[in-house]
């Protein structure tokens, strides 16, 4: 009799474990939505843009250098609220591409692009957590 009770208890516990794992919440995943983009060849200051989540990224690409490794490219982040310097997001020499991640309190920002001898493209995307599909 004790063995039957033990077997039934084990079966119930296995069933409970299985249903708990099937209903466990899926992990949150970061999604990205476009905010603004710019391109050029010279120095440039962007218009202000608003970031509402505090998590954002700058996707950048440079090309068109006169010789291999020549040309400088920097992207500097500023707060539009106070105008204060937030940080240098990108500092790169020559052609290339990459993504710079920024984590700041939600507010308006602007970018200062410093470029010499390079064509450039910059896109800002805002992050938001969501469930995995």
The total domain count for the chain is: 1
Distance CA 24, CA 88 (A): 40
Whether 11 maps to a domain, the answer reads no
> Cα(51)–Cα(105) distance, rounded to whole angstroms?
8
User: For residue 73, what are the contacts with CB-CB under 8 A and spacing of at least 6?
Assistant: 60, 62, 90, 91, 92, 93, 96, 113, 114, 115, 118, 120
Domain contains 18: no
Q: Supply the CATH number for residue 90's domain.
A: 2.60.120.200
Top-confidence residue, 58 or 17:
58
The structure tokens listed for 93 are: 């020499």
Q: What is the mean pLDDT of residues 104-121?
A: 97
| 20 in any annotated domain | no
Residue 8, in any domain of the structure: no
| Residue 77 forms part of a structural domain | yes
Say yes or no to pLDDT of 62 above 60.
Answer: yes
Q: What is the pTM of this model?
A: 0.76
List the domain range (segments joined by +) for residue 52.
28-131
CA distance 84 to 37: 22
Would residue 2 count as lying in a domain?
no
pLDDT at 30: 82
Compute the distance between CA of residue 35 and CA of residue 118 in angstroms, rounded to an integer. 23
Q: What angle do CA 81, 62, 31 make, to 5 degrees?
A: 55
51 in any annotated domain: yes
Q: What's the whole-number mean pLDDT along residues 104-119?
A: 96
Average pLDDT, the chain: 86
Residue 115 has pLDDT above 90, yes or no: yes
* 57 domain residue, yes or no: yes
């Amino acid at each position: 009799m004790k063995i039957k009770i033990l077997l039934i208890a084990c079966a119930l516990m296995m069933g409970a474990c299985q249903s708990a794992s099937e209903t466990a919440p899926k992990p949150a995943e970061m999604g990205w939505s476009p905010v603004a983009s710019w391109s050029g060849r010279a120095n440039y200051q962007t218009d202000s843009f608003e970031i509402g989540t505090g998590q954002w990224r700058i996707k950048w690409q440079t090309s068109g250098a006169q010789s291999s490794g020549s040309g400088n490219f920097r992207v500097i982040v500023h707060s539009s609220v106070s105008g204060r310097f937030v940080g240098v997001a990108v500092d790169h020499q020559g052609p290339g591409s990459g993504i710079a991640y920024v984590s700041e309190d939600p507010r308006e920002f602007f970018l200062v692009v410093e470029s010499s001898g390079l064509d450039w493209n910059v896109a800002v995307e805002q992050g938001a957590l969501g469930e995995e599909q």
